[in-house]
Structure 1
Amino acid sequence: MTMEMPTEETSLVLNNQTTENCEQVNNTVENLIFGTYYILVFLLAVSGNGLALWIFSRQRGTSSPSNVFLLHLAVADLSYVIILPLRATYHLTGGHWPFGEIPCRLAGFLFYVNMYASLYFLACMAGDRYLAVVHAVRSLKIRHSRYAHITSFCLWALVTVSMAPLLVTQQTVEMEGTTVCLQLYREKASRRALISLAVAFTPPFLVTLACYLFIVRSLRKGSRLEPTLRLRALRTISLVMLIYIVCFLPYHASRAIYILGYSRQDLSCGVQRGLALANRLTSSLTCMNGALDPLVYLFGAEKFRGTVQRLLCKKPGSGSSATSGELKGTHESSVSAKSEF
């Protein structure tokens, strides 16, 4: 798998002085909105994913594969949101990067590692739930937490190695007395980066979409799941697809347009600024998955849901008999409900 390699693109950032002059418009209101937004996302994501990591790490006995993938997803989210205060500071200081070279490299590295790790962990979770619901009995031999951990560590290694060049290449430049971190919206992409974008985003998106469509079809064809469990399953599926559509799809579509159009000499300053703003907006949306993922844990992980209910002084079983995962019917359906919904 080939990931997008921003380090190859950043060398092009100074090649077009007209483009840079068009982009350098100091918008105080825009910077204030972005800075405030990153602070709010940071607070929500740290609290939600921190709680999830604490709950998942304290689980005793054998955990389900989906819970393993959710654990790694929480780690991925936390690894990125810890640098959001740096991005907020960048905006609140008017587009100046005061932290130096190494934090700039880490900011870009963690941005891409989190985004692509999250994409693939969500896809793994979708694949595991597809096996649990559609092929419950036949998949029992391969649906073990050990295999889920092995898969997760392999994905971590793949994404980390793919993004490692960001840690060893120059990422800051001086422009008109201001230090610019190239990984914050200013990286320029070569045309071949379009292939990297497609390879990095398309496979997990299609896998997730296909798995959940098969699950929905199975539920509609007369699944033995209780109505409450079926509703919870559909809510989880809808939430995951919402995360893809809101957080990841706009960024990759915008990047493709940005790559194709931003470096053209015949574009007006207004169009260039519009492309740059779209790049900043969609880039900021990617970090929202860190704030939305705890809702996936809430719907998709019974122990997480039960712990949250206890923390809110509610009885874990109140209002729903579905937390027990009981089903009407075969052992196959029982396995699916207890471990997944």
Structure 2
Amino acid sequence: MDTTTMEVTPLFSNQSSGSCGGETTVENVLFGGYYILVFLLALNGNSLALWIFSHQHGISSPANVFLLHLAVADLSYVIILPLRATYHLTGGHWPFGEVPCRVAGFLFYVNMYASLYFLACVAGDRYLAVVHAVQSLKVRHARYAHAASFSLWALVAVSMAPLLASQQTSEVDGITVCLQLYREKASRRALISLAVAFTPPFLATLSCYLLIIHSLLKGSRLEPALKLKALRTIGLVLLIYVVCFLPYHASRAIFILGYSHPDISCQTKRSLMLANRLTSSLTCLNGALDPLVYLFGAEKFRGSLQRLLCRDKSGGSSATSGELKGTRESSVSARSEL
């Protein structure tokens, strides 16, 4: 994409909304407020989740390990949301310089694809726990989950490392723009990378959950309440895919295929750019929704949160907390943590 020909709309200018790719005043205000709201929700939810996961005692399940790493991935992206909000509230101007732009783009992609793969790992672990409960006991250990998680971190970080080594800011109409904010390269090579990064975890997650649903509906011995909880968790994870990730990748594919077409009109270009901004903003919403996955998908997380709330209400009664802990942990089983 030739970023030097793009027009950027300052927040307080009178430039029309018909400019190819330019943000209007209303868009900038709405996007800026949206990023601030998501930042507050995601920061509080994932910080609490990380604190609870790190203070849990006893043997952790593989699912909890993957959810712990998912919380770290979310927080790594949450910290750049104020930069995105500032970009919009200053009318599409990037005042932070080259290095923060590179880091912001790097963390955006690392978070998104790490989240995709950790959600896929959770789906795979749940599939083993429900469909192959006995056979999978030898491989479903926390240390294996940590090893897989660190391997995924390394894979995603190395794949996105070129963003840290290449120029990511440019001057457009006298304004500094960060190319990683809606102005990524629109090449066919980028389309292939997009498909390779998104398709495997999406298909793996979808396949695992469809097999789990089939098992639950046909012959699973789980109690009806546990079946309902499992289906609710599956529905929530798939909702995150449909709302946060699928629109962005579909929009990026359409953008890459259509934006550089010689016969495309200015209005169509603007529509593609707006769709790109909207769907890009939706990807960060997963940071606010993932705490719901922890709440519904990790039994120990719910127990720890309940004990924390009860302790606050009772003034920290250790006896009550201990009784709750014993009761809760004794009821946890590998197959009930969906």
With structure 2 as the length reference, what TM-score do the two structures score? 0.89
Query: Compared with structure 1, are the counterparts of its residues 302 and 259 closer, same or farther at alpha carbon in structure 2 (3 Å cutoff)?
Result: same
Deviation digits for residues 49-108 of structure 1, max 9, x if unmatched?
A: 101111111122221000000000000000001000000000011100011111100110
Q: 1:224-246, CA deviations, whole angstroms, 9 ceiling, x for partnerless residues?
A: 21222111111100000000000
TM-score by length of 1: 0.88
Which position in structure 2 is the counterpart of 1:197?
Answer: 194
Asked whether the 8 Å contact 2:118–2:149 carries over to 1, the reply is yes
Alignment partners' CA distance in 1, 2:292 and 2:267: 39
**Residue 62 of structure 2, aligned match among 61, 65, 76:** 65
**Secondary structure of the structure 1 residue equivalent to 2:170:** strand
Query: Counterpart of 1:40?
Result: 37
Residue pair 2:94, 2:176 contacting (<8 A) in 1 also:
yes
CA contact (8 A) 1:229 1:325 kept: no
Deviations 1:124-170 (A, max 9, x none): 00000100000011000000000000000000000000000111111
- The equivalent of 1:248 in structure 2 is 245
| 2:72 matches 1:75 | yes
Query: 1:174 is paired with a residue of what secondary structure?
Result: strand
| Partner of residue 180, structure 1 | 177
1:4-15 matches, cutoff 5 A: 12-14=1-3
Please state whether the residue corresponding to 1:173 is helix, strand or coil.
strand
In 1, the alpha carbon distance for the partners of 2:276 and 2:23 equals 16
Query: Of residues 142, 147, 169 in structure 1, which corresponds to 2:144?
Result: 147
CA–CA distance in 1 between the matches of 2:334 and 2:94?
52
1-structure distance, mates of 2:25, 2:218? 55
In 1, Cα distance between equivalents of 2:199 and 2:115: 13
Query: What is the rounded CA distance, in whole Å, between the counterparts of 1:166 and 1:105 in structure 2?
Result: 6
- Asked if 1:206 corresponds to 2:203, the answer is yes
60, 84, 89: which is aligned to 2:81?
84
Counterpart AA for 1:206: L
Once the two structures are superposed, residues 281-327 of structure 1 have per-residue CA deviations (whole angstroms, 9 ceiling, x without a partner) of 00000000000000000001112112222344389999xx998647x
Question: Which amino acid counterpart does residue 295 of structure 1 have in structure 2?
Answer: L
How does 1:124-143 map onto structure 2 within 5 Å? 124-143=121-140
Aligned equivalent of 1:9: none
Distance in 1 (CA, whole Å) between partners of 2:48 and 2:67 is 12
Change (3 A) 1:18 1:39: closer
RMSD: 2.1
Report the Cα distance in structure 2 between the residues aligned to 1:126 and 1:269, rounded to whole angstroms: 43
Residue 265 of structure 1: CA displacement? 2.1
Question: Judging changes above 3 Å, is the alpha-carbon distance between structure 1 residues 24 and 250 closer, same or farther for their aligned structure 2 residues?
Answer: closer
Query: CA separation in 1, counterparts of 2:334 and 2:29?
Result: 50
> Conserved in 2, the CA contact under 8 Å of 1:69 and 1:124?
yes
In 1: Cα distance, 2:307 partner to 2:328 partner? 16
- The one-letter amino acid of 1:27's match is T
Partner of 2:259: 262
Structure 1 contact 228–322 (Cα < 8 Å) conserved: no
Aligned to 1:288: 285
Point out where structure 1 has 5 or more consecutive residues left out of the alignment.
1-11, 327-333
Residues 77, 118 of structure 1: 8 Å contact kept? yes
Q: 1:147 to 1:88 in 2, by over 3 A?
A: same
Gapped regions of structure 2 (runs ≥ 5): 9-17, 314-319
**Structure 1 match to 2:316:** none
Q: Does 1:164 align with 2:164?
A: no
In structure 1, C-alpha distance between the alignment counterparts of 2:294 and 2:138, rounded to whole Å? 25
Corresponding position of 1:5: none
Q: Work out the CA distance in 2 between the residues paired with 1:62 and 1:324.
A: 13
* Distance verdict in 2 for CA 1:69–1:264, change over 3 Å: same
Relative to structure 1, is the Cα distance of residues 312 and 200 closer, same or farther in structure 2, using a 3 angstrom cutoff? same
Asked whether 1:336 is paired with 2:335, we answer yes
Contact 1:96–1:178 (8 Å) recurs in 2: yes
Aligned residues: 318
Give the match for residue 51 of structure 2.
Answer: 54
* Maintained 8 Å contact 2:191/2:256: yes
**Is the 8 Å Cα contact of residues 77 and 111 (structure 2) preserved in structure 1?**
yes
Letter paired with 1:31 = N
Q: Which residue of 2 aligns with 1:234?
A: 231
Q: Aligned letter for 1:336?
A: R
Q: How does 1:102-121 map to 2 (within 5 A)?
A: 102-121=99-118
Alignment-derived partner of residue 272 in structure 2: 275
